[in-house]
Amino acid sequence: MLLPVRLLRDRWPGWIERRLARFVWSDPSVITRPDVSPERFREAMSAIHVGGTIKITTADRHPEPDALLLDNLDTANLVIADVGASDGSTSLDLVRKLDGFAGFVISDLFLEISSARVGRRTVFYDPAGQAILMCGHRFIAWPVLSRLVRILVAPVLLRAATTAREPVTLLNPDVVELLAQDPRVATREHDVFTVWPDPKPDVIKVANLLRRLYFTDEQIARALRALHASLPEGGHLLVVDNSREPGMPPRGGLYRREPSGFSLVAETTNTPEIGGLVTALEVAEDAGHAPR
């Protein structure tokens, strides 16, 4: 984002919003409201920049990649973990497609942030207490992305620093409802660069997280080693990405965990961005943990 400031929709004259449509966003502060709809919640997620990644999500985003799992594995007795699940919308999509499963864990490094209200402005903070987003009456701005923006919104941030903060879930309302209804579904805060604690899941899905947009190939390989160590022998890794290339459908690959790496089980017509890194991974067969 070259200029981390955007106009808020329905707060400006129509001709301005039409002319600058690309820079006009919906109000992300709706995620603090208990009556927010699942659709508006998903739309608001694209404004949440936390931990170096963006919480972009939509419903039914991974139909072809999810089909790789459904077509190649009997999931009835499996535990599936969705790592980097954002607001959990795509986890919910997959749960609804499964004929059965033993357990499903919706996982992300950031499942909750906090907010403080200053007049008509709302400031959002990451778990470390860093201001990541400011929503005003006409603008939204990302102080975490720009020193200039931090200077411009400094008066608001100073007032917010003395205001009580409220927790804000980053889980979609439909996901919150699922968690309340199905005891097989749980959540976990987890960093993709660390090994999943025991008991290990049978399948790990990682979608739109290990991207060259966010990480170098060396960092992605480190995460893949952690994922390898997080799976039991014969477990499976499902990698998904939604390409920015025009007309490119979602890409996915299903890979089996072998002692020294991953073997290909099935891929979509188009290979995932990091598909080559997955199959090229080499892991020492006696490695009990992911190298740092």
> Which residues, at least 6 apart from 104, have a Cβ–Cβ distance to it below 8 Å?
79, 80, 81, 82, 91, 94, 95, 98, 184, 185, 186
Domain that includes residue 121, residue range: 5-32+112-169
71 domain residue, yes or no: yes
pLDDT higher than threshold 90 for residue 143: yes
pLDDT digits (tens, 9 = 90+) for 197-219: 999 999 999 999 999 988 999 99
85 domain residue, yes or no: yes
CATH code of 91's domain: 3.40.50.150
pLDDT higher than threshold 70 for residue 290: no
289 domain residue, yes or no: no
Domain-terminating residue out of 142, 169, 196: 169
Q: Do 214 and 202 share a structural domain?
A: yes
Domain-terminating residue out of 169, 188, 215: 169
Q: Do 86 and 20 share a structural domain?
A: no
Q: Do 235 and 141 share a structural domain?
A: no
Domain-terminating residue out of 169, 184, 205: 169
Measure Cα distances from 133 to 72, 102, 117, 153, 252 in Å. 42, 38, 12, 10, 32
127 cis-preceded (ω within 30 degrees of 0):
no
pLDDT digits (tens, 9 = 90+) for 239-257: 999 888 888 899 999 999 9
Q: How confident is the model at residue 2 (pLDDT cuts 50, 70, 90)?
A: low
Residue 140 sits at the vertex; the CA angle it makes with 134 and 143, to the nearest 5 degrees, is: 50
Q: Do 232 and 246 share a structural domain?
A: yes
pLDDT of the residue at 285: 64
Q: Do 194 and 75 share a structural domain?
A: yes
Q: Do 72 and 10 share a structural domain?
A: no
Strand locations in 85-153 (E): 103-108, 112-118, 121-125, 131-135, 139-141
268 domain residue, yes or no: yes
Q: Do 141 and 27 share a structural domain?
A: yes
Measure Cα distances from 132 to 84, 110, 177, 227, 239 in Å. 19, 13, 27, 28, 28
pLDDT higher than threshold 60 for residue 1: no
Number of C-beta neighbours around residue 120 at 10 A: 10
pTM confidence score: 0.90
Q: How many domains does the chain fold into?
A: 2
Report the SS3 class of residue 273: coil
Average pLDDT over the chain, rounded to an integer: 93
Number of residues written out for the chain: 292
143 domain residue, yes or no: yes
